A = this chain, B = another copy of it.
Amino acid sequence: MGREEEEKRSKEIVLGRNVHTTCLAVTEPDANDEFTGDKEAYMASVLARYRKTLMERTKHHLGYPYNLDFDYGALSQLQHFSINNLGDPFIESNYGVHSRQFEVGVLDWFARLWEIEKDEYWGYITNCGTEGNLHGILVGREVLPDGILYASQETHYSVFKAARMYRMECVKVATSLSGEIDCADFKAKLLANKDKPAIINVNIGTTVKGAVDDLDLVIETLEECGFTHDRFYIHCDGALFGLMMPFVKRAPKVTFKKPIGSVSVSGHKFVGCPMPCGVQITRMEHINALSRNVEYLASRDATIMGSRNGHAPIFLWYTLNRKGYKGFQKEVQKCLRNAHYLKDRLRDAGISAMLNELSSTVVFERPVDDEFVRRWQLACQGNIAHVVVMPNVTIEKLDYFLDELIEKRNTWFLDKKVQPPCVAADIGSENCLCDLHK
């Protein structure tokens, strides 16, 4: 099946085919189930099989930026409780089974990391990176109601989803081959819309290439175009790198000492967590504007979600306490080292590959065998795939993957009918090792 056909098929699925083939149906218990124990036994066997699959899948995972290496055994006792931080983290609700004391501890840690005082920030622990972006952009829109949203074309889809949900005008900005926002194009688009305020999404690590937008240049461009600080709002989408960047030497700083409005980062990515979660930090002055506006609806409502997972803050609190800033620094350095190792070995084997300077995301030629892609759970886009080197990705694991890839690849291109794809348009001719460019 060719790529085009495959794309067509995948679109058909998107447009509604209801896939029920692998589903584990819920069945009504029999009257004598409690007596026979059949159902209990059935469920136990389903769960045991499932656990095996999870172990196998966890072992062979490389493509998504999730740190799968964590041990929260000490917290398993908390699974018996329905912990819910409904509403604002800083205001206790009447529901007593919450974990706000952990949540605020975690928020303070991030506020320190991004250099904003305790009494100047507001934030909360979200359900995922998307919720952070939805919140940041909503705050931006409430501060600048007729603002235009600017985001580079390599921005995560949740930002464009936000624009559509919020009925905001949205302007896509071009990117360089590395994946960074192209500030010349940004400037041209700003100048064409000088009459309206600007809300900008800055990527601290794009999804596919791990490219970091140049925050300082974005701010400079805004200023050059005559946008005063009260006429723009910057949201930094730090999904993965928001937590890695502070520990990379030479990396430009994400800090509230610069005129930014909010930063979000995922908790299940670099930190590692059984379920998705994220951290959202914004300025108190902005959230005041938001809260005042919604007061007639329901006081204290400044989060996107109402009921909020109270376990996630405890997982984060636990890891931050154990690792500390120093522990994260070590892990970041290890990831960058291992990412370089992977890129070098790919190139040595004649495989096109790119690694952005501040990133641990190695982009390379998409393996032609979909079975291989699924086995290693690689995220793909067009002709390229990537591996995100996370703390649980060791040299041994990379060697295992590389050996298999190189071996399989020899068979894919054995008869010379199929050639490795040219990826110069994706990652630049200097990184492409196709027949034409090598």
Contacts A105-B25, A157-B298, A161-B297 given: A272-B16 contact, CB under 8 Å? no
A106 contacts B26, CB within 8 Å?
yes
B309 contacts A275, CB within 8 Å?
yes
Closest to A272 in B: B82
Closest to A44 in B: B74
Q: Residues of B contacting A279 with CB < 8 Å? A: none
Mask of A126-167 contacts with B, CB within 8 angstroms, 1/0: 011111001000100000000000000000111011001111
CA distance A385 to B299 in the complex (A): 17
Residue A288 interfacial (CB < 8 Å): yes
Q: How far is the CB of A254 from chain B (nearest CB, A)?
A: 19
CA distance A67 to B97 in the complex (A): 12
A119 contacts B309, CB within 8 Å?
no
The one of B10, B58, B131, B321 that contacts A39, using a Cβ cutoff of 8 Å: B321
CA distance A77 to B57 in the complex (A): 16
The one of B15, B54, B326 that contacts A291, using a Cβ cutoff of 8 Å: B15
Q: Residues of B contacting A307 with CB < 8 Å? A: 127-130, 266, 268, 276
Contacts A157-B297, A268-B307 given: A17-B84 contact, CB under 8 Å? no
Residue A1 interfacial (CB < 8 Å): no
Residues facing B in A281-301 (CB within 8 A) are 284, 287-288, 291-295, 297-301
The one of B91, B97, B320 that contacts A26, using a Cβ cutoff of 8 Å: B320
Q: How far is the CB of A199 from chain B (nearest CB, A)?
A: 15
B297 contacts A121, CB within 8 Å?
no
B81 contacts A274, CB within 8 Å?
yes
CA distance A175 to B64 in the complex (A): 49
Closest to A84 in B: B276
Q: How far is the CB of A268 from chain B (nearest CB, A)?
A: 6
Q: Residues of B contacting A364 with CB < 8 Å? A: none
Contacts A15-B291, A96-B377, A274-B311 given: A26-B108 contact, CB under 8 Å? yes
Q: Residues of B contacting A57 with CB < 8 Å? A: 96-97
Q: A interface vs B, CB < 8 Å?
A: 10-11, 13-20, 22-29, 39, 43-44, 47, 50-51, 54, 57-58, 60-61, 63-64, 66-68, 70-72, 74-84, 86, 88, 90-92, 94-97, 99-102, 104-106, 108-109, 118-119, 121-122, 127-131, 134, 138, 156-158, 160-161, 164-167, 266, 268, 272-276, 284, 287-288, 291-295, 297-302, 304-312, 317-318, 320-327, 373-374, 377-380
